[in-house]
Amino acid sequence: MTEKAGKVLVVLGAGPGLGMSMAHRFGREGFRVALVSRTDRRHEGYRASLTEAGIEAHTYTADVTDAADLKRVLGQITVDLGGYDTVYFGPVSPATLAVVPLTEAGAAELLAPMDNLLTAAATLVGEVVPGMVSRGDGALFFGGGLSGKIPMPMLGNLAPASAALRMYVLTLAEALKDKGVYAATLTIGGLIERGDIHRSFVDRDPSLEGIGTLDPDDIAATAWTMYVDRDRTEAEFGVPVTSAA
């Protein structure tokens, strides 16, 4: 592996909403960017948007919820870019969302989102954290949902997985804080503008357009501040439409 100049941000589960906002925000600070998506359908546009902003961008195709595929793409990014300083993990998309009410969910329905979120996150950590600890530097951001903190019955079997991911990240952050490695969760309590999940909801119900949405640029700006200050391990955005205590 050849060392190359400049820090690298890897966006796992890159989409037009928060993933691209993270890429632009960190890119403005001199980071090179590696975007990883399930398909390459929008990669040309992503690269063009970042290049126009003066940001070096590379795109890769992988299913980051598949352990072998995740390991493969991280290895390729290391070969191409000489490693990475920061990783943003946000692989949830409409294709991975299969909401089953908890009153109807069995073990299989509960475990499916765990595989998409917690298992994939643990695979990521196993791949990247040892190197970060060895260097005494690095950062990990995880996109999570507010249902991991506040009971939100309409999200059914997704809520336990969200809660597990949130606690995993917070505990990981505590375990890493004296090793020079930063971990944090971005806890999202609303639909992110320009994102695929937002678009899928609006396509089903156009009246939702512009209602209660979150600006991904604002979230990415907060993530950058967290990266610099490293004085908190969770930021919460928005409020739930419905919740139960």
Query: The domain containing residue 111 runs over which residues?
Result: 8-235
Residue 154 placed within a domain: yes
User: What does the pLDDT profile of the chain (245 residues) look like in tens digits?
Assistant: 334 557 999 999 888 889 999 999 999 999 999 999 999 999 999 999 999 999 999 999 999 989 999 999 999 999 999 999 999 998 765 455 677 888 898 899 888 888 888 899 999 999 999 999 999 999 999 998 888 888 888 778 888 888 999 999 999 999 999 999 999 999 987 676 654 554 554 445 555 555 457 889 999 999 999 999 999 999 999 854 433 33
Rounded distance between C-alpha atoms, residue 130 and residue 236, angstroms: 28
Please enumerate in sequence order all residues whose Cβ is within 8 A of that of 229, keeping only pairs 6 or more positions apart, or say none: none
Domain count, the chain: 1
- pTM attached to this predicted model: 0.87
Residue 243 placed within a domain: no
Q: Does residue 238 contact residue 147 with C-beta atoms inside 8 Å?
A: no
Residue 242 placed within a domain: no
Give the number of other CB atoms < 10 A from CB of residue 47.
17
Residue 164 placed within a domain: yes
Rounded distance between C-alpha atoms, residue 239 and residue 28, angstroms: 29
Burial class of residue 44, CB neighbours in 10 A (0-12, 13-18, 19+): exposed
